[in-house]
Amino acid sequence: MSATRITAADLPAGLAGVDLLIDVRSPKGRAESGEIASAIIVPKTQVEPAFTGPLAAVPKDARIVVFCGSVKGSGPVVETLTGLGFTNVADVEGGYAALKEQGIS
């Protein structure tokens, strides 16, 4: 699978099969709206250093789902991860709000 945009409804119950759920929202966005407990927080500007450093051991075929407050935040992150060789990356249409609406917490 390649970089894809998915809906929150496309995610399996309990996020089965999702290896990493990544929140790239700003601290302000998380403070105002809340967080998803199973998500790791990686600031947009730190995605490349994180995945070439502390997260370098993540397999290139890991199922990675990225969300933000908008596609302007998650879309570029998906491009960055794809550029780093990850082959199974998606961003969530509607971002955090769509995930919460779907009951993912």
> What is the per-residue pLDDT for 1?
45
Mean predicted confidence (pLDDT) in 87-102: 94
pLDDT digits (tens, 9 = 90+) for 31-40: 999 999 999 9
Residue 75 structural domain? 4-101
pLDDT digits (tens, 9 = 90+) for 4-38: 899 999 998 889 999 999 999 999 999 999 999 99
Q: Where are the beta strands (DSSP E) in the chain?
A: 4-6, 20-23, 40-41, 64-67, 89-92
**Total domains in the fold of the chain:** 1
- pTM score of the predicted model: 0.92
Number of C-alpha atoms within 13 angstroms, CB side, residue 16?
Answer: 3
CATH number of domain containing 20: 3.40.250.10
- C-alpha to C-alpha distances, 4 to 8, 39, 72, 77, 101, nearest whole angstrom: 13, 19, 14, 12, 20
